[in-house]
Amino acid sequence: MDSPTIPLISRRDALIAGAATATAAAVSSSAPAEAAAPKAAATPGPRAKLSLNVNGQVHSLELDTRTTLLDALREHLHLAGTKKGCDHGQCGACTVILDGRRINSCLTLAVMHDGAQVTTIEGLGTPQNMHPLQAAFVKHDGYQCGYCTPGQICSAVAVLDEIKRGVPSHVSADLTARPLLSAEELRERMSGNICRCGAYSNIVDAITEVAGSRT
């Protein structure tokens, strides 16, 4: 009588089959425990009342004290022009002008600026009545996807004000003299605003045109 044929299996196939069996057993045994474990409810943080003057309009807010200025603008005041890029202060897409100075709104808490005046891209101009820098960005193709453009323009507005006030930059040769309206100065001052599309040269051209008209 012939003996039954025993199928041959390689060591590799045996290891794969064993691993699959162990994984299936582990998943099945842990599923009931996971289903039984209650989900922890999100604990609300302390809240605070504050007032912000945004684009000339006063807003009274009550926010979680952990709310960034960026999220207050976007999620609570529905001003979506200010963009959330890296959320770590590295790209500049969230730049706004706060009490006359540019700031990365993702790096500061809203409750720190009670009573402050904030200017976002919506407060600079409209499609029908554009700010000179907005018009220059369009003229010189200073954007491609446009995601970083609101932060670029807000930063550029503040840059021209810095130069007008005589604030030096890292590349200013004479810290006591009025800064030059040079491409090197503008590139340095705008270096905190990243354009992933690479429209840097056109951005400098746009700012240079507006800066020249103001001298």
Extract long-range pairs of 158-162: CB within 8 Å, 24+ residues apart: 158/95, 158/97, 158/100, 158/101, 158/102, 159/102, 159/186, 159/189, 159/190, 159/207, 160/133, 160/207, 160/210, 160/211, 160/214, 161/100, 162/189
Q: What is the mean pLDDT of residues 171-194?
A: 92
pLDDT per residue over 10-62, tens digit each? 666 666 666 666 655 555 555 554 555 566 666 778 999 999 999 999 999 99
Residue 111: per-residue pLDDT: 97
End-to-end CA distance of the chain: 108
Residue 8: per-residue pLDDT: 60
Task: Indicate whether this model's pTM tops 0.75.
Answer: yes
Residue 32: per-residue pLDDT: 54
pLDDT per residue over 126-164, tens digit each? 999 999 999 999 999 999 999 999 999 999 999 999 999
